[in-house]
Structure 1
């Protein structure tokens, strides 16, 4: 089944005796049994038919054996960290979403783990940072918000040589544009809140893998800690994924046009979009994915210009998050990466002139006109 067709039909309810096409919302905490030892569902923290259908669809989309649906992307990453013991060491992309860095430092280190953050697009540096106690590598590609691209095949080769697990956050490109398991990753992470849901109306997270032993351990931690996705939210994700393909096609079309337009503006000093041929990761991204996605970061000529844009956009929404039908403008310095120390933020390029835009489904001419009027306000 082709990818677009799978998005549309993968969540259809094939076996309902009523003939209902859409998967019902099984809004129940528990399930009745008619005999001792009877199989089936027990308790919705452990499994629920609506969530199970969503997990089956996500596994198919990511070419994985199994998927687990969580109450948020951060809940998914938190569960992933339970694979490790005190004293274990992990390597991670230095330009991660700020919430991931906060989790690793504020919770992971408290629990005895250690982390080194580095530019994982430099495979030589990645290999050099591996220590005897290193157990895994955690990568975003493209990264949030500086749009660095890591060669996943190359990273996977290094991980195999050193017996390390490779985790890849695929939120930006989604399984519609990139499948990290096919490139050698062991676990794929998603914030389902973003493009998978696509409508800015629910929180969700996913872990997808092929190794049954890894998934057995993750599902044990998942059931024990209870960060499961609720039935109604599972249904919203099933609904959102139906239009994932057509949304991603339109949004990345808009993103390329907007990135090219931003390059021509005198008040823009730098545009970071992996779909531009001059982007340093363009060739790697083109080799390992089917598109560049809908995320752009750009730097303007002054903090005054950045604040003027944020305060005066009218159609574009000044808001955190990404991946919905509406275009969102975000200020990483005070929003997604506010918890990073100032020196660290600025060393990574996250300064008071940097803006991130999640391009939506609007007419791109309206987006350009909105930015123009905001810059002149």
Structure 2
């Protein structure tokens, strides 16, 4: 089942990577809580397992599943999205190299590149990822990587993956797409020319706000060999229970993404034209400048909605404080609805930089609760 790519998305999400245990018939992946594995003589590994940092029988099916749902060949699981990010950067870049990043990249990605990798002689240039010409102009002879988020976090800009892949490859660089916001159900970067799809599996893939993880998926065997070396050598791997929870979450990804998208669209209907809202930002909104590109490469537009408040920063803070169903918290992609102020929370690290986010911006992660309740909650918070 795990190797049959012709199956539909939900079939792969539920079955890829694991068949029922031949000994017990267990239909779910067992949690192998073992740090080491007995060998049949020196070097005689059973099933290829020797030490849990190197490989674990719960993690292995997850990695096969991740590859299958991204329509890739190789999948690697990590202890967090930032661990996956770090592995990718260290696998591709060397001192003196350059990369292009979105000018509204996730704060954690920006912080790692700006505060850590620049100390090792890596240079970067921010560029608007929705402007293919601007990305092309940001390229240098030393550019080895183009980093793409689409939709971006938190301004929900859209990059044309196929066009950006052409720019990167023409310049001799690799292109990675952080596919966290879209999920593999809504968008398939590898099929559009990306070299790597990256995820914080903490978000939509896990889907229940109960596990932290990350993933890298590629069709490039040489790249995967580098990922595997650092995954084992640096050791930022998920534990077996984390792998089990992530795989459990993936099984319902398609259903959840449809409900997230349904609910987000209803929230956007309320926000659009509301006197307290200066701007509503959603790729599915026809007024979004990148709506045509999003429509071309996404199945639907997901559960992330951003808005700017007409009353400025204080209005944004007050709005965040007044919601009742939307919980004030960082992260996203869980079944429950969350609200946050990026400038003071997830993107505080960008303050004073070229990537600083507007102070009147609020980000919503629209959950799968009853839509009428979510709309009523947002409405009362805006009008209080």
Question: How big is each residue's C-alpha offset from its partner over 1:261-302, in whole Å with a ceiling of 9 and x where there is no partner?
Answer: 111321011000001112111111111121111100001111
Q: Does 1:271 align with 2:280?
A: yes
Cα distance in structure 1, aligned partners of 2:279 and 2:95: 42
1:20 aligned partner: 26
Pair 1:217–1:288, CA change in 2 (3 A):
same
Question: How big is each residue's C-alpha offset from its partner over 1:100-137, in whole Å with a ceiling of 9 and x where there is no partner?
Answer: 00000111111221111110211111111211111110
Cα distance in structure 2, aligned partners of 1:330 and 1:341: 16
Q: Which residue of 53, 64, 70 maps to 2:78?
A: 70
Deviation at 1:370, TM superposition (A): 1.2
1:375 aligned partner: 382
Q: Which residue of 312, 318, 327 maps to 1:308?
A: 318
SS of alignment partner, residue 152 of structure 2: coil
Question: How big is each residue's C-alpha offset from its partner over 1:14-52, in whole Å with a ceiling of 9 and x where there is no partner?
Answer: 343111111100011010001122132011100101000
Cα distance in structure 2, aligned partners of 1:32 and 1:343: 52
Q: Does 1:354 align with 2:348?
A: no
Q: Does 1:10 align with 2:16?
A: yes
SS of alignment partner, residue 299 of structure 1: strand
Question: How big is each residue's C-alpha offset from its partner over 1:182-214, in whole Å with a ceiling of 9 and x where there is no partner?
Answer: 000001100000000000011000000011111
Cα distance in structure 1, aligned partners of 2:83 and 2:101: 18
Give the conservation status (yes or no) of the 8 Å contact 2:270–2:379.
no
Alignment of 1:241-280 (within 5 A): 241-280=250-289
Q: Does 1:176 align with 2:190?
A: no
Cα distance in structure 2, aligned partners of 1:148 and 1:371: 23
Cα distance in structure 1, aligned partners of 2:192 and 2:353: 34
Pair 1:11–1:56, CA change in 2 (3 A):
closer
Give the conservation status (yes or no) of the 8 Å contact 1:273–1:297.
yes
Pair 1:343–1:137, CA change in 2 (3 A):
closer
Deviation at 1:343, TM superposition (A): 6.0
Q: Which residue of 86, 89, 96 maps to 2:105?
A: 96
Cα distance in structure 1, aligned partners of 2:137 and 2:371: 44
Gap runs ≥5 in structure 2: 1-6
Cα distance in structure 2, aligned partners of 1:20 and 1:343: 52
2:3 aligned partner: none
Give the conservation status (yes or no) of the 8 Å contact 2:99–2:124.
yes
1:160 aligned partner: 169
Give the conservation status (yes or no) of the 8 Å contact 2:96–2:123.
yes
Q: Does 1:197 align with 2:206?
A: yes
1:210 aligned partner: 219
Give the conservation status (yes or no) of the 8 Å contact 1:48–1:231.
yes
1:238 aligned partner: 247
Give the conservation status (yes or no) of the 8 Å contact 1:11–1:22.
no
Provide TM-score, normalisation by structure 1.
0.97
1:46 aligned partner: 54
Deviation at 1:8, TM superposition (A): 2.2
Cα distance in structure 1, aligned partners of 2:211 and 2:377: 27
SS of alignment partner, residue 91 of structure 1: strand
Q: Does 1:127 align with 2:133?
A: no
Give the conservation status (yes or no) of the 8 Å contact 1:11–1:238.
no
Q: Does 1:222 align with 2:222?
A: no
* Segments ≥4 residues shifted beyond 6 Å: none
SS of alignment partner, residue 58 of structure 2: helix
Give the conservation status (yes or no) of the 8 Å contact 2:323–2:381.
yes
